[in-house]
Amino acid sequence: MKNTRTIHSIIPPPPPHFVGDGFRVHNFFPSQVEGGMTKTDPFLLLDYGSPHVFEPSEHLRGVDVHPHRGFETVTFAFKGSVAHKDSSGGGGIISEGDIQWMTAGSGVLHEEFHTEEFARTGGEFHMAQLWVNLPAEHKMTKPKYQAIKHESIPRYHDSHCEVEVVSGSHGNVKGIASTFTDIDTLIVSLKSGGRFEHECPSSHTAIVLNIEGGAIISDKHDLPVHHCAVLANDGEVISIYAKEDTRLLVLVGKPLRESIVAAGPFVMNTREEIMQAYHDYSSGIFGTL
Ligand code: MN
């Protein structure tokens, strides 16, 4: 007999803030979760850009050049599009429905902006950025990108449910993204009256973000749109019922249980490694852009 996981907390969207001048986000964690990055291990941060209309602009909105080291950033463009450029000469566009899984590893220097086309037309922008920790042994891995196109994401279907399996697995469908540890990243579209169930070990961290619609989670808790649920570690099944047509981002990860020292754009295991990151950054090891 498998048990349904209960709820640790349901978090309403905190007041938004701007990252640069292009990303209007609600930070669900670490700021809104007691225990911070340790509670959501291996996930470090979730910035959610609920739908926001940007007026057409000559000026490109976004975040100027900044570094990262020691973790991965996963950017979801639900609506609107993001252009990125980095110090290795890489760059590209995250179009509507696409996902970018960037392994910062030993270090990247990058910028993130609205695309020129989006700036020109303006419109609704809806996105999320997740930070995934890297285990100590992979923190200094070579940086890489996985540019995941919407149409390339493997899908699980039944009569009332479609699951885009970005990483890990759901049912017999395997995800497309490679990860360093055990992580299920699922985008779930449920028809009104439909149910989604996902099995995972009770020790794994599980987080559900409602990006559209309305749902009941763990049989009895309301999960309104733009709310985020952190599940308790007390069962093997995540269970969600859709009160209307609903879309959810479901994140499940095996905790690393390593020490976390986070400072701005760097997340390492020790103070010394953070000092080294600042030193390497200021001495130009991350390259130029
Ligand atoms: Mn960044």
Q: What is the mean pLDDT of residues 233-247?
A: 98
Q: What is the mean pLDDT of residues 34-52?
A: 97
Supply the DSSP string of 17-79, one letter for each residue: EEETTTEEEEEEETTTSTTHHHHHTTEEEEEEEEEEEEPP-SSPPEEEEEEEBSEEEEEEEEE
Q: Phi first, then psi: what are they for 73, rounded to 5°?
A: -115, 135
Whole-model pTM? 0.97
d(CA 32, CA 123): 29
CA of 213 to the centre of ligand 1 (A): 29
CA of 68 to the centre of ligand 1 (A): 7
Alpha-carbon torsion, ordered 73, 74, 78, 82, to 10 deg: 50
Write out pLDDT tens, residues 70-83. Answer: 999 999 999 999 99
pLDDT of 91 reads 85
Report yes or no: 267 and 261 within 8 Å, Cβ to Cβ.
yes
What is the domain partition of the chain in residue ranges? Answer: 7-278
Q: For residue 143, give every residue at least 6 positions away whose Cβ sits within 8 Å of its Cβ, in sequence order, or none.
A: 86, 88, 102, 103, 104, 105, 106, 107, 108
Residue 116 has pLDDT above 90, yes or no: yes
CA of 229 to the centre of ligand 1 (A): 25
Per-residue pLDDT band for 88 (boundaries 50, 70, 90) equals confident
Per-residue pLDDT band for 1 (boundaries 50, 70, 90) equals confident
CA of 237 to the centre of ligand 1 (A): 33
Q: What is the mean pLDDT of residues 93-100?
A: 96
d(CA 198, CA 6): 13
Residue 20 has pLDDT above 90, yes or no: yes
CA of 104 to the centre of ligand 1 (A): 9
CA of 288 to the centre of ligand 1 (A): 15
Q: What is the mean pLDDT of residues 250-261?
A: 98
What's the CATH number for 7-278?
Answer: 2.60.120.10
